Structure formats: structure tokens, C-alpha cells
Structure 1
């Protein structure tokens, strides 16, 4: 390792839009759905509530429902949450789609391709070794090696030789991490 101090650069990962959903349409059997306008439907049956998030098929535009709450007592949900469902809160739509329990229950997975961007500052001349801290503003699951290759222009083979990282580089993560790029 060099005796020179590391130059620390911050990288930021931001979500640009909500992901498409890998969800089979019952009408046209395509494999992708979108949230459309991000609308909730709340149905009351006596003192029990059903809450769904409405999604549209990308190909045929058929509306489908993702179950958020099924036959829950009205009093078990906080009033602020009920207001957000009625107001179709965009942040609540995002939280609902990104909730792994709801994804498992409704048998869909988010498709994150093209839904995120990486903000990087310019690299100073002769920066080696270079320490980079990655911060996730939104929970976008990415493989660190893919993120490093995208941000630095280094091939994946070269990443294995030159990058020192404390987390598994081939497992998806949404947690902040840092790594060091060594000179060639």
C-alpha cells in the first residue's frame, strides 16, 4: 500500500423512477407491470378494510391489484396511514413497492434496470490509491462490482485485482459501503 494518504470521493446512488414489476398479467401473459399513477384502493366491509395498490400491465394496460392489507380491523391502522392511502401519497406508493413482505405476498420482484443513477465527482489527477464511499439515498439493490464498473470504467476482471472492498462484491446490497481502488 502507498504511504500517500487516500483521496476520498463520495458517490451517491439515487432512484430515478419506480421500478417495473416482474408480474405476470392475467390477460396478455406479459411479464411486466407498472404502478401507473400510483393509486390505492381502499374497500371497507363493516369494520374491516382491504387496501390494494393498483398496477397496470405495460403491454395491454389492464389494471391489476397488489394486496397491501387484507381484512384488517379499521382501528389497527393509524389514522395518518389511512389518510395517506386515501390521498394516494407518492412516498407511500414507493414504500409499498419496495417492501419485501408485500413483494413476497403478491409474488412480484422489482426490475431495477434503468431506475437509478450514480452521481460521481470528478477524479483528480494521479489519485492513487483512491478511496470511494458509496451512499444510497434510496434502497436500490445493486451489486457492488456492477456499481464500481459503472462509476469507474474499470472492467470486472480488473476490479477483482485492484479493488479492496469489505462486502461481497457479487451480492446485491442497499447498504452504504466504501472501497479502495489501487493503482495498476
Structure 2
């Protein structure tokens, strides 16, 4: 049996990104928060759609354009029904589109997140000597990899850096860069802190996934 324990961490942002724009009521740059609602306007067979934002200071609204003057025949029926129902998954899809927000905002304030779900992949060895972590980010999460590992493994960032310098920690993303979807982290479980790392890496919420094929990051 392999002596490597493989786990997948699924990270969820704790709030939507906030675009900073000039607020017409405040008269200065303000952060705007997603309201969780779409606005639609029909003009004949043409449709406009916006995601509504509110100023965090005065509640003035700003409509983030999703599309304009689009023929209803060209709109996917599922998309249209989601817009009409203010579907939360669709709200999340557009609210986390940071690239689109940057085109229309002075800057975009992104937020950190945490591990919402942990999954053991494959069989769990009795005495693992190595831990492999696979990161899945359904939406962008603004957190450095070293900070994420420090928070989730219960070790100071300086300790994380020391382990890396000893070649006991390998990553596909640099520790001082933002964690990204598909990042892989390998850690040799030394006697000094291996038990702490192992305990925190697999603490609740945890799900067991028996198939090795689930190592794929989607």
C-alpha cells in the first residue's frame, strides 16, 4: 500500500469581490457590493441584462452590464430563466468574474476564503509518510498559498517556509503567490510536526472518495 495520503481541499471565497467606482451620490470612489439581483429590460425582441450593485456607503445602485440589445432567440433558455429567477449560482458566476469587473472599475477588492470541504482521495494509509494536497477553487479566492497552508495546517508561515527550504514541501505554485485552481502541494511528514499537519489537513469537513480517478481537478 502507498504511504502517501492524498486529499483535495475545495476552497470557497467568503464574499463576492467588490468593484470600486465613482459613486454619483457620494462624489468619490466607493466600494460597491453585489445585491444578489439581476435587472432585465426588454425592448421588443431585444434584451438588456445587468447585475445590480449597491454603494457600501450610501446604497446608491450601479448596474453592471452583462449584455445589451441581445436577441431573445440567441439567449440560452437556461440562462434566461436563471436571470429571471435571480438564480444564486448564476449570480455567483457573474459576481466572481473579476476580469469583467476590472474593465469597468477603478479597482476590484478581492477577499480571502477558506477550505469548505476536504476529501480523502483513494485509500487512506495507516501511517502516511507523505501528504499531497490538491486545491480546487470553483471561484477565485484571493489568498497567498503560504498563508492558506499556515491557516489550514496550524503552522506559522515562517515554519512553512523552513519546511520548504529543507525540500520537505514542494508546490506547483510559489508560496508567495495566490493559490490557484489545480495547485498541488506535497509535504514530507516529519516526526517534528507531521502529526499536526496530518490532523489539520484532514479535519472536518471531510469526505472519503474511494476512486483514484477523482484526483482530476475540474
Q: Into which bin does the TM-score normalised by the smaller protein fall?
A: 0.7 to 0.9
Shift in Å, 1:137: 4.5
Shift in Å, 1:42: 1.1
Per the alignment, do residues 83 and 8 of structure 1 end up closer, same or farther by CA in structure 2, a change over 3 Å counting?
closer
Shift in Å, 1:65: 0.9
| Range that drifts further, 154-163 or 48-57 | 154-163
Residues 130, 187 of structure 2: 8 Å contact kept: yes
SS in 1 for 2:49: strand
2:149 matched residue in structure 1: 148
SS in 2 for 1:180: strand
Match of residue 18, structure 2, among 17, 21, 24? 21
> Could you tell me the TM-score, scaled by structure 2's length?
0.66
SS in 1 for 2:48: strand
**Residues 19-63 of structure 1 deviation map (CA, whole Å, 9 limit, x = unaligned):** 241322332235322122x11111123333221111111111111
CA distance in 1: counterparts of 2:58 and 2:93, whole angstroms: 26
Q: Does 1:178 align with 2:175?
A: no
1:158 matched residue in structure 2: 159
**Residues 102-134 of structure 1 deviation map (CA, whole Å, 9 limit, x = unaligned):** 213322524214xx222569xxxx965443333
Residues 14, 137 of structure 1: 8 Å contact kept: yes
Which consecutive residues of structure 2, in runs of 5 or more, have no partner in the other structure?
120-126, 164-168, 193-218
Per the alignment, do residues 80 and 166 of structure 1 end up closer, same or farther by CA in structure 2, a change over 3 Å counting?
closer
CA distance in 1: counterparts of 2:60 and 2:76, whole angstroms: 31
| Range that drifts further, 139-148 or 4-13 | 4-13
Which consecutive residues of structure 1, in runs of 5 or more, have no partner in the other structure?
none
**Residues 153-180 of structure 1 deviation map (CA, whole Å, 9 limit, x = unaligned):** 3333332331221222222243133323
Residues 51, 67 of structure 1: 8 Å contact kept: yes
